[in-house]
Structure 1
Amino acid sequence: MPQIATYVFFDLETTGLPHQERNRTKVIELSFVATSTRDIQKTSFGDIPPVSKLTFVFNPQRSIHPKVSELTGLSNDLLRHAPTFQQKINSLVTFLEEQQKPVCLVAHNGNIFDYKLLLAEFEDAGMSLPYDLLCVDSLIGFRNILKGTSIDYNTLKTSTVQSINDIMTDDEDEWSDLNVSLEEWQEIDEICLSLSDISCEDLSDTSVSSDKKKPKSKPSNDNLRKKKTEAIKRVMDKKPTVAKECYKLSVLYKRLLNREETNAHRAEADCFMLLYCVVALKNDFLPWAENSCKTLTEIKPLQRY
């Protein structure tokens, strides 16, 4: 598997959902945000690397669903003088070909939606994307990395602050509390050893003498089973209900960056939200992408009918 040199974060907005438009859905906005793997690796949590970007709006030459216009602010009236997708297709290809190879597209839910629509638009225009273009679906990646974990902004921020470079120093005065002599360590060890000899019985209530303690009758098996069942029930009743994990981009952005989405449902804004999330989990996401990427040609275009 080739070492990915460039990641192109990709998002698009459309006239509607394919199942509502007999798969005749058209792209009304597209954004590419490109950056190198090297720059992602060097970027700190909460920041973004240097990028090259390309964003277009298009005249879809068909009606835009009212709900889409409400969410994106893009309407047929606003886009009536915009170029068609076909008129800008060469610019899209040129942008991708100018990036250092291998190039990998990153789209959230891309396998199901974005990549299929992109390929359909190219098929409509009788054009092809670069044959060696790779792709990954970040929705799958984040699910694999985060499922069943408690990773969030707090844990990521803490791990960043407490990096090894932050806690190493040659100045003893900076860490006076840790300057313990050999004699002091030996005294601490002796105290710990003496405490380890104390049994749980030694810590019981000493106010009652041993001769006053009454022997306890051995509980029956039925009583033991009953108490065990009741204890299990109490534990299960207290156990919190686990909420279904959500991997929607805006939810991930809040979880990992502790930030609210801005300019939502616009292609470029979504690309940058996705880039922030990838930087936050770069140590896990980049190896996953290397192992999971495939050529874009392996995905079937949306079939018009």
Structure 2
Amino acid sequence: MEEPSSSREVNKIQTFVFLDIESTGLQPQNPRILELSMIAVSREDLLRMSQQCSSNGQQTPSKWSPPPSPPQDNCVPKLPRVLHKYTRLYYPWKIVTPAAEEMTGLNNDMLQNLGGFTQNSAQAIHLFLDLPKPVTLVAHNGSKFDFKLLKAEVSSVDYIEEFSDLQCTDTLRAIKDIDALHEKEDIQQITALAESFSVDDIIEDDSPPTTKRTRPDEAAKSRPSVSAQLNTCTPPGNQGHHPMLEVIGELPITPIKEQLTPSKTPATPHKLSYPQLSPVTPEIGKSCTTTSKVCRSLTYEGPGKRKFPRNMPYKQVNIYHRLFGTGYNTHRAESDCQALLEICGHYGKRFVEWADTFSERFSEVKPMWVKRKCFTVN
């Protein structure tokens, strides 16, 4: 976990506002907001979410039990009764890219009757944030996207001064730090447990050793002969002529394992060989629909970069599945806010303490884009 700066004062945040934004694209294209959603919860209710979940189905912690925060039972925290919600859609005054439309389900036709992001929109957000202070916005990877885009939209309508006391918390950084701290604590507990054992704690086994199996030729030498066994079983007066017994010259002896092993291993049958087909390279100018490996995926971050990273272990949906073993309806602003609230409620006290120490001022966030000045003629 990061060390707090000496100049940074640790404050106790009273209201956590979980934020999610759906936009027309990614940062290089100067995106605009399509959908904005916020869910606000108090500090006490956020801490209570973790406590309620850890009390369900948990045993009394032992000496070497893992730390109680966060709980590790795939329990989705129960949402508190007091929640403040705000969801609003805007017409972006910009073309929604096909990739963004596919992910969000929103397009220009759906939003054409709505207004864009105006000064009234910024004022409505400011009124919603009129909650017990300090107030912090919470978003996953918000330092690189959500906070910067919201700052650009608010700055474009000249309403940024009203958000001077607002703070922001990036859960991507927070969860990475908390997971690293949990891993460090697990290593320390395992090391302490290993050091607590000594040679005297090992229980000696006084049971007799298991009888070893003997080979057939050794067993034959140890048992009495057949004739001796018959003499002991023959009734007096009829020695050697007992009607119920039939004398066998020798008992069958199981052959030794080495005698059953063939001298030579049979040859492996030859495999059928097929002619190797040389790969066919599509000609220039023709469509590459038949060879999907040659096709390059759609991008809008620059040449060679994918639209969205495929393998990102700390994507919000991956964290949710890792903690709770299930998924949720992604790329819906309100659904993403609720999922992030449940994730942070799972981490509980650790997340709240991290936010108190490492939250940033919204006024210090760099806007994603700056509105161009209009050309006017005097």
Deviations 1:49-100 (A, max 9, x none): 221010100000110011111111110000001121114221011111x211
Q: Which residue of structure 2 lines up, in the alignment, with residue 292 of structure 1? A: 358
* Partner of residue 99 from structure 2, selected from 56, 67, 76: 67
Does residue 79 of structure 2 align to residue 48 of structure 1? yes
Q: Which residue of structure 2 lines up, in the alignment, with residue 143 of structure 1? A: 176
Q: Which residue of structure 1 lines up, in the alignment, with residue 286 of structure 2? A: none
Q: TM-score when scaled to structure 1?
A: 0.67
1:290 partner letter: D
Deviations 1:180-234 (A, max 9, x none): xxxxxxxxxxxxxxx969768x7895879xxxxxxxxxxxxxxxxxxxxxxxxxx
Q: Secondary structure in 1 aligned to 2:340?
A: helix
Q: Secondary structure in 2 aligned to 1:78?
A: helix
Q: Structure 1 vs Structure 2: percent identity of aligned residues? A: 34
TM superposition shift of 1:116: 0.5
Relative distance call for 1:40 and 1:198 in structure 2 (3 A) is closer
Does residue 127 of structure 2 align to residue 94 of structure 1? yes
CA contact (8 A) 1:147 1:245 kept: no
Unaligned stretches of 5+ in structure 1? Answer: 151-194, 209-243
Q: Which residue of structure 2 lines up, in the alignment, with residue 5 of structure 1? A: 14
Q: Secondary structure in 2 aligned to 1:136?
A: strand
Q: Which has the higher helix share?
A: 1
User: Residues of 1 paired with 2:207 and 2:43: CA distance?
Assistant: 59
Relative distance call for 1:18 and 1:206 in structure 2 (3 A) is closer
Relative distance call for 1:196 and 1:120 in structure 2 (3 A) is closer
Relative distance call for 1:62 and 1:47 in structure 2 (3 A) is same
Does residue 33 of structure 2 align to residue 27 of structure 1? yes
Does residue 41 of structure 2 align to residue 38 of structure 1? no
* Partner of residue 16 from structure 1, selected from 25, 28, 35: 25
Query: Computing the radius of gyration over CA atoms, which structure comes out larger, 1 or 2?
Result: 2
Unaligned stretches of 5+ in structure 2? Answer: 1-9, 54-76, 184-199, 213-310, 373-378
Q: How many residue pairs were aligned?
A: 221
Relative distance call for 1:82 and 1:149 in structure 2 (3 A) is same
1:212-291 equivalent positions in 2, closer than 5 A: 246-262=313-329, 264-291=330-357
Deviations 1:146-172 (A, max 9, x none): 24857xxxxxxxxxxxxxxxxxxxxxx
CA contact (8 A) 1:10 1:30 kept: yes
Q: Which residue of structure 2 lines up, in the alignment, with residue 224 of structure 1? A: none
